[in-house]
Amino acid sequence: MSRSLAGRVALVTGGAAGIGRAYVTRLARDGAKVVIADVNDATESADLVRAAGGEVLTVSCDVSSATEVARLRREASRVFGGVDILIHNAAIYPATPFAEIDFEQWRRVMSVNLDSCFHLLHELLPDMRDQRWGRVICIASNTFHSGVGGMTHYVASKGGVIGLVRSVAAEIGADGVTINAVAPSLVRTEGTSSGHHDEFGMFAKAVQMQAVKRTQVPDDLAGTVSFLASEDAAFITGQTLVVDGGWVRA
């Protein structure tokens, strides 16, 4: 067990289940105190953090709301004194042909997936810059690089995340804060296993495109995220690391 994040406080959005649960567990094993922000109950994830020897705070939060994100920052500061590491994982991913996407659905996806980044960075970056240390990892998607159809609003939102990461990196690097994106393929979780992904054979199609011929699971990402949050990644910023079994070979 590494303790590379000992003394750090990591905030994970969407940490109640799926990939986010793998992140909070790994960060705790690596020594971080963990804040889990989610609209869903995070009891099971919190129990896993404690089992890994970590301290944990759970906060119910809709990250598309600037008011709720401000409250999230206050709670994290009250309990742990602040946030050193942000893992922005919360997102929605409806599958809808472009011709059937109305503007209300478009805005909802943008609000949850992209506007949330704006709210979180506005709240958390000032303290990171003041303390001259911080790590931000935003979860993007290889769909931006591979041009998957049927979810244009989702792909556009993740492209926006990548653009935001690249631009913000130029402004915060001198203050000792890094920001990067991680772009996975289709990951097998409770959520993706019960939806349209299996119905339309999307897991099999993903494996066919990948160089590594198996379905991606949350633990394939957890180590990457922990690395980017560590001192070992201090000279990496503004990058998008595609972790998708070799589907995208850029």
Residuewise pLDDT in 10s, the chain (250 residues): 567 899 999 999 999 999 999 999 999 999 999 999 999 999 999 999 999 999 999 999 999 999 999 999 999 999 999 999 999 999 998 889 999 999 999 999 999 999 999 999 999 999 999 999 999 999 999 889 887 888 899 999 999 999 999 999 999 999 999 999 999 988 766 666 565 555 456 777 877 888 889 887 899 999 999 999 999 999 999 999 999 888 888 6
Q: State the CATH class of domain 9-185+220-240.
A: alpha beta
Tallying the residues shown for the chain, one arrives at 250
Phi, psi of 190 (to 5 degrees): -60, -40
Between CA 168 and CA 227 the distance in angstroms is 20
Question: Which amino acid, residue 202?
Answer: M
Catalytic residue, candidates 23, 154, 203, 247: 154
Pairing of strands 85-88, 134-139: parallel
Q: What is the pTM of this model?
A: 0.93
Query: CB–CB of 96/111 below 8 Å?
Result: no
Is 23 a residue of the active site?
Answer: no
List, in sequence order, the alpha helices (H) in 111-151.
116-131, 143-146
